[in-house]
């Protein structure tokens, strides 16, 4: 299940919905990403996200399919906000369900690395000193490359 939405969502509701959907799994891992109050540029006023439908959804679907090939998963949920957010707002929710915990942990980690580097989103941060568009950090690419190294070894 993939949802890219300009509507706010509540993490507890997302967890409850996923638990229902993943009934019978032995392990559920959920990750929630929130808008940070501080950035390198200062105090964050708003974070604005753009997506390109349907390219953004299609890309996430491919990543979910890749995770399902690599790990034994019962269910996967990705919710990603677009539009305007303020610090503390949930921006991303990833949930994975599997028979055992290792697959659920690793698949959630893999999907987050995809969402941080390759997913089709553009982020603009507005601080007291102005606004700027965020580009991936070197460590985001490093995080993602862990999965490629594992495939090769």
Partner 1 sequence: MATILYFGKLSSLFGELSEQAPLPSEISDTATLRKWLDETRGFDGALMHNSVRVAVNSEIVSDPFPISNADEIAFLPPVGGG
C-alpha to C-alpha distance for 34 and 88, rounded to whole angstroms:
5
Beta carbon of residue 144, minimum distance to partner 1 (angstroms, whole number): 9
CB 34 within 8 A of CB 91: yes
Total number of residues binding partner 1 (CB under 8 A)?
23
How many whole angstroms separate alpha carbon 152 and alpha carbon 66? 16
Q: What is the DSSP string of 19-67?
A: HHHTTT-SEEEEEEEE--SEETTEEEEEEEEEE-TTHHHHHHHHHHHHH
Query: Of 3-11, 44-52, 61-69, 82-90, which part binds partner 1 (CB under 8 A)?
Result: 44-52
Which span (14-22, 65-73, 79-87, 132-140) binds partner 1, by CB under 8 A? 132-140
Residue the block writes with tokens 């808008």 = 35
Q: Does 47 sit near partner 1 (CB under 8 A)?
A: yes
Shortest distance, position 23 Cβ to partner 1, whole Å: 33
Binding to partner 1 by residue 54, rule CB under 8 A?
A: yes
Phi, psi of 91 (to 5 degrees): -110, -35
* Cis amide bond preceding 54, omega within 30: yes
Stretch of 18-26, 67-75, 102-110, 111-119 contacting partner 1, by CB under 8 A: 111-119
Q: Which of 26, 122, 142, 146 binds partner 1 (CB under 8 A)?
A: 122
Interface residues toward partner 1, by CB under 8 A = 47, 50, 52, 54-55, 58, 116-125, 131, 133-137, 140
């Amino acid at each position: 299940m993939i949802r890219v939405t300009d509507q706010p969502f509540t993490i507890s509701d997302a967890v409850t919905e996923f638990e229902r959907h993943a009934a019978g799994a032995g392990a559920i891992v959920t990750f929630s990403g929130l808008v940070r109050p501080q950035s390198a540029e200062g105090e964050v006023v708003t974070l604005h996200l753009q997506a390109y439908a349907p390219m953004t959804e299609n890309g996430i679907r491919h990543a979910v399919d890749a995770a399902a090939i690599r790990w034994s998963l019962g269910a996967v949920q990705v919710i990603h906000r677009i539009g305007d957010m303020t610090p503390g707002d949930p921006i991303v929710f990833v949930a994975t369900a599997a028979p055992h915990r290792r697959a659920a942990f690793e698949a959630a980690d893999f999907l987050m690395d995809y969402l941080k580097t390759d997913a089709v989103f553009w982020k603009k941060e507005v601080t007291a000193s102005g606004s700027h568009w965020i580009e991936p950090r070197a460590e985001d690419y490093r995080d993602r490359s862990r999965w490629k190294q594992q495939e090769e070894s």
